[in-house]
Every structure is written in C-alpha cells, then in structure tokens.
C-alpha cells in the first residue's frame, strides 16, 4: 500500500512538473480570460462545481468574448469556445477529438461497444479503412459502421410513423397527472416525464412496455445520470491527470465511488439481459419466417436486418446489437425529460405565452385529439417554443475536446490578444484542451441579440433574426443549435426527441395549466446532463398543475 501511494505520488509529481516547467509555449497564453481562482484548480471549480450552471460562464463570455482562456489545474491553459466558426471546426474536423476522461465516462455509462463509445477512424487511415470495408472486415471505423446501420431507423419518415406511439405515451402521462391531481395540486413533473420518455423509448426501440423492462431497470435508469453526474474537487483533479496517464476502462471504473460503480454495474447487467432477450425473440421470430423491425416501432429489429443484408456493406454483429441497449435506453431519456421539464418551467414563468400556445393547439386539428407528424410541424408557436427551450436549456451545455495535432481555430469573431494583436485564426498546439461551450454559444448576444438570455420564442418567427442566424456557419442538425451536437457525433435520436416533444407538449399544454410554486427554488445543475435540481440536491421540478379542459 505504502509503495503504491509512493508511486502514485511520484507519478503525479512528474506530471505536475511536466505541466508547469516543461510546458510548450503557445498563443493560447496570450488569449484574455478571467483571473485564476487557485493554482490547484484554476477556474474549473467555477465552471463545473458551481451552484447553478453558467453563473460565471455567461459573465466571462460577455467580458472576454466568444473564445477566451480559462485556467485548468496546475496553471494549465484551456479555451472556452462559443465562436460558431471555431465550434464548427472542432466538431467536424479530425484535428480535435474527445478527451480521455470523456471517453472513459461514455464507456463507463454505456459500455465499450455502444455507438457513443466506439471510436472513429482518423482521416489519415481512411484508405486502409476503405479497402477493409469492401471485404466486410471493418475493424477500423466501428463508429461509422454503427451509425450507418442505426441512422435509417431514426430517419424522419421512421419518426413520423412513431406519432401514434407518442400519442399513446402522452395519454398515459395525462392519466398519471389526473390521478396525482386527485390528491394534490402540486406535482413533481420530473419523475412523470422520466417515466413517459422511458416508456416511449422502450416501446419504439424494443416494442415493449415499461413493465416489460422490469422494475429494477426502470428504477436504476431513472436516477443513473444524477448518481453518476455530480462533480467533486477530486473529479476535477483526476480528469486532469487522466489526460496524461493512460487508463484502461477497468482502471477508470476502479476510481469511481462505490455507489456509482454499483449503479453502473446494475445498469450493465440489466441492459445486457434485456438486449439479449430482445435479440433472441427477434431471431426466433425470423426463423419462423416472421418480419422483424416493423414499420411502427421496434427499431432494434431493424439493426438485426442489417446483419442479414447480403449486399449491405454495413452490419452489426449480434453482440454489437445487444451492446446498443444501454445507450438507446439512456441517451434519450434523461435528455428529453429534462428538456421538457425546463420547457414547462418557462411556460409557467410566461403565462401569456402559455395561453397563446394553448389557443394555437386548441384551434388546430390536434385540438380534436390525434394528429399526424405534419399537423404538429404546422404549429408555429409550438415549434418556436421547442426551439427556444432547446436553445436556452441544452442537455449537454459543455463538452470537452482536445487538439490531436497542431492546428488553427478559425474565428467568426476576431479576438485581441494580450499583446494587442487582433487575430481571426488562433494557432493551437497538439494536446490543447478546448471546452465546447454549447450553452454560451446559444446565449451569445452577438448571435441571438441583446435579449439572448431571455425566453422569447417569437424570435424564431421573426424573419429578420432568422436571417441573422443564417449568416452564421450552419452547425447542428436542428435550428442552428448545438443542443444535439454536430459532426460525426451528432445525436442519433434528435428527430425522435423533437417529434416526441411536439406530441407530449401539445397534449400537456392543451389539457393542463402550469405555474410555479411560491417557494420555487429550482436551480439548473450540470451533472452529465443539465437537470433541474431541488434544494435537497435531488433532481426534480415541482409545479402547480390544474386541468383546463
Ligand atoms: C432533447 C433530447 C436530446 C438531446 C438534447 C440529446 C443530445 C445529445 C448530444 C449532445 C449528443 C452528443 C454526446 C457526445 O458525444 O458528447 C447525443 C448523442 C447521442 N444521442 Fe442524443 N439527445 C437527445 C435525445 C436522444 C434520443 C431520444 C435518443 C435515442 C432514442 C438519443 C440517442 C443518442 C445516441 C445513440 C447518441 C450517440 C451518437 C454517437 O456517438 O454517434 N438521443 N445526444
């Protein structure tokens, strides 16, 4: 034990010396930014261990601009990036990639063969990849292969076919709220929304109900992000050291707190059992000559069909299909339910808009119950509301990336270095850390106007402002937002999320009215995802709810 501690101490000291004494000089040192709060943590505690997401970040962005420098642990320099051109470069070029700690976290949460954890192939290795691909020996780019198999299941046509399924989920949510309202007028919307989004995913992907998932899995997944997410001082230090010490996923799991690794272990076991059961059922059905991967759901079955396709160059092996179970269940559940919770809170704070939205829904064909995808798309206030919610409350407001080679960051908004020089391209060295500040990009006054911090859905209906956004590089799959990320790692389920939000919000707003309790003390906290947090430290969003119809 004494030897291990001494070795760990010597290694940590060597890393700190390497970071402080032998640091490669870089232009990033001349980028203005806030003073460091401490040598040990730099500004990182202000960013990731703060009470309320953005409490320092938005002020820094106003003061220092769209690209500024913050201090990391041991006096290192990091970039906070909300400049659209620089973001586009980071997210779409092969000169940046995820940091090791983010890669480890993805593997720990979703398993190492899930689409979100498998790695892509660098452009320099593409020729070899293309040769291997034609022989169907595609060890090289597992990420591209998984996306090629999974993308069609999430196409816009496939998502429109899910509208009736989402409407059944919405009706279930209504019944649940009505039942709660028999005994109270104040309802915590978070658990209700978690159950609804989990139910929609399990129906759509696996063709099974919440009950079929099993009570243990439902309970485990309802809180997994909240258990895994919260950042501590120790995490901040470990994340930094992890950039320099190569860790295997197993070693990473060893340094997790016992409650977190136990919750993750349970999730892996239960999702593996579920995926294996679902796969077996579909293999058996196919052996009997039945069709799997039906048109109105069961996206899982469509992955199996890829394995059979003779001409198809892209396929997933059976164990790789099972390995997608956790990510499919988890990635779209917390993100969508928290976005819905933040959206309902905005409606509660803006009663006039809530009333106008309800009138729009009541006077549309949806008012009579039931609609098609096109009917939901044709409601201007509803869609403006969804865009504004996703702009202000991105589920992943911060993401870390690292330059994998010396490169330049192109800038839409020039910056003035501490030397007085104005630049439109910032040179960065291999290993430079850059935070993709999605939340800051989406609240940037330079992009969205002086009221960027305010909830004003009508900005999406205002031609002038949309044209302004049109002058910017086109990033993200939806509304020039980065809420669903961009580039090769763009959210697989973004259309699923948008259609689901359209349907659930139409139902909720048409049938219920929402306001905030007088003692509302919810804060937005970033812990893997952005979530509404109660003073007790638990995720939750209590609201006063009443029936309007
Ligand atoms: C409002 C709802 C949602 C938001 C804001 C959201 C956001 C994101 C973001 C930011 C990423 C990139 C993560 C990273 O690499 O750092 C991502 C990836 C992903 N999302 Fe979503 N998501 C949502 C809903 C969904 C849904 C409903 C599903 C599936 C049913 C889904 C499935 C995935 C998957 C599989 C990935 C990994 C993609 C890859 O690495 O290629 N998401 N999502």
Please list, residue by residue across 293-329, b when 16 or more beta carbons sit within 10 angstroms of its beta carbon and e when fewer do.
beeebbbbbbbbbbeeeeeeebbbebebbbbbbbbbb
CA 433, CA 321: separation in Å to the nearest integer? Answer: 33
CA 372, CA 163: separation in Å to the nearest integer? Answer: 7
Beta strands 398-403; 407-416: pairing state: unpaired
Between the CA of 18 and the centroid of ligand 1 the distance, in Å, is 36
Length of the chain: 549
Residue 491 in marked binding region: yes
Specify the residue with its C-alpha closest to ligand 1, atom 40.
116
Residue spans of beta strands (DSSP E) within 385-483: 398-403, 407-416, 422-428, 433-437
Between the CA of 352 and the centroid of ligand 1 the distance, in Å, is 32
Q: What is the pLDDT of residue 133?
A: 47
Ligand 1 in contact with 489 (CB < 6 A)?
A: yes
Kind and range of the H or E element at 77?
A: strand 77-81
Ligand 1 in contact with 505 (CB < 6 A)?
A: no
Please list, residue by residue across 146-164, b when 16 or more beta carbons sit within 10 angstroms of its beta carbon and e when fewer do.
bbbbbeebbeeebbebbbe
pLDDT, one tens digit per residue, over 232-273 is 888 888 888 877 777 777 777 777 888 888 999 999 999 999
Kind and range of the H or E element at 128?
A: helix 126-134
Specify the residue with its C-alpha closest to ligand 1, atom 25.
332
Closest ligand 1 atom to residue 150 Cα is 35
Between the CA of 365 and the centroid of ligand 1 the distance, in Å, is 31
Q: Which of 373, 254, 313, 393 is nearest to 131 (CA)?
A: 313
Query: Alpha carbon 498 to chain centroid distance?
Result: 14
Specify the residue with its C-alpha closest to ligand 1, atom 27.
332
Closest ligand 1 atom to residue 483 Cα is 5
pLDDT, one tens digit per residue, over 160-186 is 999 999 999 999 999 999 999 999 999
Q: Which of 493, 478, 489 is nearest to 154 (CA)?
A: 493
Q: Which residues lie closer than 8 Å to 234 by C-beta, 6 or more apart?
A: none
Alpha helices in 399-476 (DSSP H): 438-442, 445-448, 463-470
**SS3 call for 139:** coil
Between the CA of 401 and the centroid of ligand 1 the distance, in Å, is 17
Between the CA of 240 and the centroid of ligand 1 the distance, in Å, is 25
Beta bridge partners of 531: 525
CA 135, CA 126: separation in Å to the nearest integer? Answer: 15
ipTM of the complex: 0.99
pLDDT, one tens digit per residue, over 1-49 is 455 556 556 666 666 656 565 566 789 999 999 999 899 999 999 998 8
pTM, two decimals, is 0.92
Of 202-216, 291-305, 310-324, highest mean pLDDT: 202-216
Q: What angle do CA 295, 298, 303 make, to 5 degrees?
A: 95
Specify the residue with its C-alpha closest to ligand 1, atom 5.
395
Ligand 1 in contact with 457 (CB < 6 A)?
A: no
């Amino acid at each position: 034990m004494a030897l291990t501690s001494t070795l760990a101490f010597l290694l940590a000291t060597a890393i700190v010396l390497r970071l402080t004494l032998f640091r490669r000089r870089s232009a990033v040192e001349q980028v203005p930014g806030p003073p460091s709060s401490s040598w040990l943590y730099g500004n990182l505690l202000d960013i990731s261990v703060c009470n309320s997401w953005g409490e320092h970040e938005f002020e820094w962005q106003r003061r220092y601009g769209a690209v500024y420098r913050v201090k990391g642990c041991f006096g290192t320099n990091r970039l906070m990036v909300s400049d659209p051109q620089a973001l586009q470069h980071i997210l779409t070029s092969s000169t940046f990639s995820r940091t090791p700690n983010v890669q480890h976290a993805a593997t720990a949460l979703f398993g190492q063969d899930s689409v979100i954890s498998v790695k892509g192939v660098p452009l320099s290795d593409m020729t070899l990849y293309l040769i291997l691909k034609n022989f169907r020996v595609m060890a090289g780019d597992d990420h591209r292969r998984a996306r090629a198999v999974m993308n069609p299941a999430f196409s816009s046509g496939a998502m429109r076919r899910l509208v009736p399924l989402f409407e059944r989920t919405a009706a279930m949510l209504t019944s649940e709220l009505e039942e709660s309202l028999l005994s109270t007028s104040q309802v915590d919307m978070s658990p209700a929304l978690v159950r609804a989004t989990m139910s929609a995913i399990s129906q759509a992907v696996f063709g099974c109900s919440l009950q079929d998932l099993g009570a243990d899995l439902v309970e485990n997944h309802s809180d997994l992000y909240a258990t895994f997410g919260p950042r501590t001082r120790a995490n901040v230090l470990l994340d930094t050291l992890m950039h320099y010490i190569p860790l295997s996923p197993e070693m990473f799991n060893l340094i997790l707190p016992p409650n977190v690794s136990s919750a993750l272990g349970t999730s892996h076991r239960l999702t593996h059992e579920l995926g294996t059961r679902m796969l077996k059922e579909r293999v058996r059905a196919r052996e009997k000559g039945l069709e799997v991967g039906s048109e109105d759901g069961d996206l899982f079955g469509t992955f199996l069909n890829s394995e059979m396709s003779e001409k198809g160059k892209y396929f997933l092996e059976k164990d790789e299909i099972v390995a997608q179970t956790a990510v499919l269940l988890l990635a779209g559940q917390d993100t969508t339910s928290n976005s819905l919770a933040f959206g309902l809170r905005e409606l509660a704070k803006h009663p006039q808009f809530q009333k106008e939205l309800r009138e729009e829904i009541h006077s549309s064909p949806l008012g009579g119950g039931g609609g098609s995808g096109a009917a939901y798309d044709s409601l201007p206030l509803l869609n403006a509301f969804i865009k504004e919610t996703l702009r202000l409350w991105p589920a992943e407001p911060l993401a870390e990336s690292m330059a994998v080679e010396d490169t330049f960051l192109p800038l839409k908004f020039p910056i003035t270095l501490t030397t007085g020089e104005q630049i439109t391209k910032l040179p960065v060295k291999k290993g430079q850390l850059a935070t993709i500040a999605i939340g800051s990009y989406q609240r940037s006054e330079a992009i969205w106007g002086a009221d960027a911090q305010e909830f004003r859905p009508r900005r999406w209906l205002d031609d002038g402002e949309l044209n302004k956004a049109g002058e910017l590089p086109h990033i993200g799959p939806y509304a020039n937002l980065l809420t669903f990320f961009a580039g090769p790692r763009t959210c697989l389920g973004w259309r699923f999320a948008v259609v689901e939000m359209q349907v659930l919000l139409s139902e909720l707003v048409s049938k219920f009215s929402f306001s905030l309790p007088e003692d509302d003390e919810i804060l937005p906290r970033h812990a893997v995802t952005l979530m509404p947090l109660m003073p007790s430290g638990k995720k939750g969003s209590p609201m006063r709810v009443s029936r309007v119809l």
